[in-house]
Amino acid sequence: MSVPKNCKRITREQRILAEDAVAERDFPEAFFAVYDDAFLKIIGDSPSLQLAIEKDWPFAHEAGVYFPDQDAIYITSNILQIDGEPKIKIGKLTRSNNDQWQHEEIQTDVAMGNGGINYQGGILFCDQGNKSQPGGLVLMEARPPHNTKTLISSYHWRRFTSVNDVVTHTDGSIWFTDPIYGYEQGFRQSPQLPCQVYRFDPESGDIRVVADGFGRPNGLCFSPDEKTMYLTDTDWIHGDGSRDLTRASTVYAFDVIERHGSPFLTNRRVFALADEGIPDGIKCDLEGNVYSGCGDGVHVWTPGGRLIGKIKIPGGVANFCFGRRGELFLLNETRFWVVNISKDVQGALLANMKIEV
């Protein structure tokens, strides 16, 4: 089967033989890497990669929350030093009628935003907090003046360390990760909790630990039927920048079950190991395929954990989101990419929220 012109087949030897695999690590331009013909069904006959915005500072790092009614994406920057203090900026990327993209900064009191999700018409940000503000889950209005409301800032009396990423369930609960990065990077107080995953019921106020035993729990998402949760462990890199190939850069899968009227995560298993960098942000499409931003772009696995392809981006991808049908938005620190694939592909997140795209 032939592949489109901006795609490249990865041979058996390039996957399993060291010399051939190492030679494939250096690539100057973005392209689609086809590991399995199943990936061709996802990318379609004429996939495209567009560098939509490029700046000289890391404006496009995390979140990636798409609003179809605005045709806009809310994002967070990487850590900046402003007047000698660490700061993360909230941004908005808006598409014009001629398919041009504009970036604007949003003025808000979210202290150190990271991951985010659509919630109650606004953006629910993971606010990592700083040494004077506790952070937690903060809901920001999607329209000016972008007022905010903190939903939760602690596990009972013990403050979270630096809440990282968040996803919602159709039962109304909110699930999020809390690694140690904020403390390691020097803008949070000493941790009062282990690196864990939480479930929060905003109606009752119930807050539970649902998974532990991670080095650095990071991205998370549900399968389309919500029977599986995928969680990434990015222990490969610590907040001081140190890296260790023997530490986890792993996607884990859990079964979501109910016991005694409450959901639990069980049957923890390795779903995939990222071969480049760390698996950071993670999403599913409606067919259950799993996408994650990694050190060389976005990796795509089948629900069975088989790597079928990559959207190769020089410098990698921290986070991303689905847009309209057949559309992905990639956050590449100083660059923002728009990827068009098959119109049959749709992200599971907005579909499960009943948000029309």
**Largest distance between two CA atoms of the chain:** 59
Q: Which amino acid is at 200?
A: F
User: Taking residues 76-88, what's their average pLDDT?
Assistant: 95
User: Residue 356: which pLDDT band, with cuts at 50, 70 and 90?
Assistant: confident
pLDDT, averaged across the chain? 96
CA–CA separation, 346 and 44 (whole Å): 13
User: Taking residues 321-343, what's their average pLDDT?
Assistant: 98
Query: Is 354 a residue whose pLDDT tops 90?
Result: no
Q: Residue 23 phi/psi, 5° resolution?
A: -65, -25
CA–CA separation, 54 and 235 (whole Å): 29
Report H helices in the chain: 12-16, 18-23, 38-43, 181-184, 348-352
Predicted pLDDT at 357: 85
User: Residue 24: which pLDDT band, with cuts at 50, 70 and 90?
Assistant: confident
- Give residue-wise pLDDT tens across range 119-175: 999 999 999 999 999 989 999 999 999 999 999 999 999 999 999 999 999 999 999
Query: Is 1 a residue whose pLDDT tops 80?
Result: no
Query: Is 302 a residue whose pLDDT tops 90?
Result: yes
For the chain, the domains span: 7-352
User: Residue 281: which pLDDT band, with cuts at 50, 70 and 90?
Assistant: very high
CATH number of 7-352: 2.120.10.30
Mark 265-280 as b/e (b = at least 16 C-beta within 10 Å).
beeeeebbebeebbbb
Predicted pLDDT at 63: 97
User: Residue 282: which pLDDT band, with cuts at 50, 70 and 90?
Assistant: very high
Query: Is 246 a residue whose pLDDT tops 80?
Result: yes
CA–CA separation, 338 and 235 (whole Å): 29
Predicted pLDDT at 2: 81
Q: In this prediction, what percent of the chain has a pLDDT beyond 70? A: 100
- Cβ-defined contacts of 81-88 (< 8 Å, 24+): 86/112, 86/130, 86/185, 86/186, 86/187, 87/112, 88/61, 88/112, 88/113, 88/114, 88/128
**DSSP bridge pairs for 252:** 231, 270
Q: For residue 204, give every residue at least 6 positions away whose Cβ sits within 8 Å of its Cβ, in sequence order, or none.
A: none
Token pair of 324 as six digits: 């309209």
Q: In this prediction, what percent of the chain has a pLDDT beyond 90? A: 95
Token pair of 289 as six digits: 């395929």
- Give residue-wise pLDDT tens across range 184-228: 999 999 999 999 999 999 999 999 999 999 999 999 999 999 999
